[in-house]
Copies of this chain bind each other. A is one copy, B any other.
Amino acid sequence: MNEQLLNRVLRQAEALCARRGARLTPQRRRVLELVCRAERPIGAYELLDQVRDGGKAAPPTVYRALDFLLEQGLIHKLETLHAFIGCTHPDHPHSSQFLICADCGKVTELEDAALLGSLHSAAAESGFSPQRPVIEVIGTCARCAHKPDRPAD
């Protein structure tokens, strides 16, 4: 996430939390910023290292911040990677799909209405009420597919 987008996201986050009466404390803001700055999904303990930065902090510090940010829809958790990414459009609540490149590790966030529609139809046939769809696709991104197959490591 580039600097410009990051700033927009942080401002949106502040506005959203203010509107909802949720407290985006410095700690939480810090974690959000770290997640967003990471080019790839980042794990909780990796975040912890960065939050510590010489000082001291324990896992609950990071996990509590992450829980808050997840609740507010400011970040997403990738279940298949046990890692987190910043949401680039937190302005409306949404259920996303993720394309995860097994080669370069980059993740693309989709919000595909047709896909969600299919999912709800399929669930409805079983009388099932979806609450939290988890859709993560491991594969190869366009960039990596075009690369000549591991260019001389």
Contact = CB atoms under 8 A, between A and B. Distances in A.
Interface of A: 79-80, 97, 99, 101-102, 108, 110, 112, 114-115, 117-119, 121-123, 126-142, 145
A134 B80 contact: yes
Nearest to A102: B131
B134 A119 contact: no
A70 to B, nearest CB: 14
A36 to B, nearest CB: 21
Nearest to A131: B139
Contact of A79 (B79, B118, B126): B79
15 contacts: A79-B79, A79-B134, A80-B134, A97-B119, A108-B128, A110-B126, A112-B122, A114-B122, A115-B118, A115-B121, A118-B118, A127-B142, A129-B139, A132-B137, A135-B135
A5 B53 CA distance: 56
Contact of A145 (B129, B134, B139): B129
Contacts of A134: 79-80, 134-138
B135 A139 contact: no
A118 B114 contact: yes
Contacts of A119: 97, 115, 118, 135, 137
Contacts of A145: 127, 129
